[in-house]
Amino acid sequence: METVSTSKSFGGIQGVYRHESRECASEMTFALYLPPQAEDGPVPLLWYLSGLTCTHQNVMDKGEYRRAAAEHGVAVICPDTSPRGADVPDEPDNWQFGQGAGFYVDATEPAFARNYRMASYIISELPELLAGRFPLDMNRQSIFGHSMGGHGAITLALKRPGRFRSVSAFAPIAQPSTAGWSRTAFEKYLGQDEQAWRAYDATHLIEDGFRLPELLVDQGDADGFLDDGLRPWLLEEACKAAGIPLTLNMRAGYDHSYFFISTFMADHIAWHAERLK
């Protein structure tokens, strides 16, 4: 693993690291913020999964998470959203598919199955890489994300009960198997059998019996993707039917951008920190 950069921030260290990934068969980059408390021993780990078109850089530069992470003594890891490189299949003119749009699935279609294994990368490979290299308490992990990353956070946690102590999301894609901006990607990654898509769809996973102890979601009501892509009411209906406590905050006037995310970032980190104690 290569250290790309380290910078001191709020008493802790913001690092960027690069490594060769066995799951994605490509070079992968991630950001990791270690709060000052990490100097005294292992700290809990909060995963942040980014949305379409993003890399680790977007939230690192615009998410404004370090002050709250330092205050609560929580490390924050920000992986990339997809495999990268000239040899990785891509559709450069399609921002909803390919590099930058891994959708946190393990692709099964032959053209993409070698590289697009973001679910296994997040759940298996990257934690193995972190353990022992950084002062992290891997028994205390939580997860959140934005948009495509909110979808990823919820689905990964639903399928692994007990792995994450808490789950939250900013403007998640609630039902990607039917949303206009994700359905095509699911078909390309997972094939035409829509039953296979249910494993990566939060509402369908809940319908199929998967559960979370609780869920926090923030959504801007001025989000341009609200009606076609996000549709939080579908997640609300699924949680209500399953008895999953959902706090859905509809934020008046907020859009889909990092202006929205950074406004409520500290609230989410505090919420996770309480459950990571």
- Which pair of structure tokens corresponds to residue 256? 């889909």
147 annotated active-site? yes
Whether 200 contacts 155, CB under 8 Å: yes
From the list 147, 166, 168, 182, the catalytic residue is: 147
Q: Where are the beta strands (DSSP E) in the chain?
A: 2-9, 12-21, 26-34, 43-49, 75-79, 136-146, 167-170, 215-220, 246-251
From the list 56, 146, 256, 268, the catalytic residue is: 256
- Which pair of structure tokens corresponds to residue 90? 């891509």
146 annotated active-site? no
Residues 60, 251: Cα–Cα separation, whole Å: 23
Burial environment of residue 234 by CB neighbours within 10 A (0 to 12, 13 to 18, 19 or more):
middle
From the list 21, 223, 268, 272, the catalytic residue is: 223
221 annotated active-site? no
Cα-based angle 251, 257, 261 (whole degrees, multiple of 5): 60
Catalytic residues: 147, 223, 256
